[in-house]
Amino acid sequence: MKAAPEREPLEKAVPRDVFQAEVDAWAERIGVHPKVVQVRPMKRKWGSCSTAGRVTFDTSLLRQHADFRKRVVVEELLHLRVPNHSKLFKSVLRAYLGGSVRRAGC
């Protein structure tokens, strides 16, 4: 199921290269190296990641606010290190996002 963001979408989508820069910055901070970062329409999730290192984000994520984008981006990138939603995953996610951690990406 696709988690509903708390706020209305932005009027203008964040440019693809700006979003890519956000993903790159978080990848560096988390210490992961996604092989491919894709943005394409996704019906049921905001993001996904494959064991082959491909990370995919829903196109409409680019119209979400920065805090929601961050939550999805960090979740997907972190899955490259921890490919599940275990306690460990949640505690690391919390360490990066600080405080409130509601799973949003997948």
Q: Which residues are at the interface with Zn ion (CB under 5 A)?
A: 75, 105-106
- Closest residue to Zn ion, judged by C-beta, is 106
Query: Which is nearer to Zn ion, 18 or 88 (by Cβ)?
Result: 88
- Using alpha carbons, list the distances in angstroms from residue 44 to 15, 35, 56: 23, 23, 12
CB atoms within 10 A of CB 29: 11
Nearest partner of 9 among 56, 58, 48, judged by Cα = 58
Query: Which is nearer to Zn ion, 4 or 12 (by Cβ)?
Result: 4
Smallest distance, Å, CB 56 to Zn ion? 12
Smallest distance, Å, CB 5 to Zn ion? 16
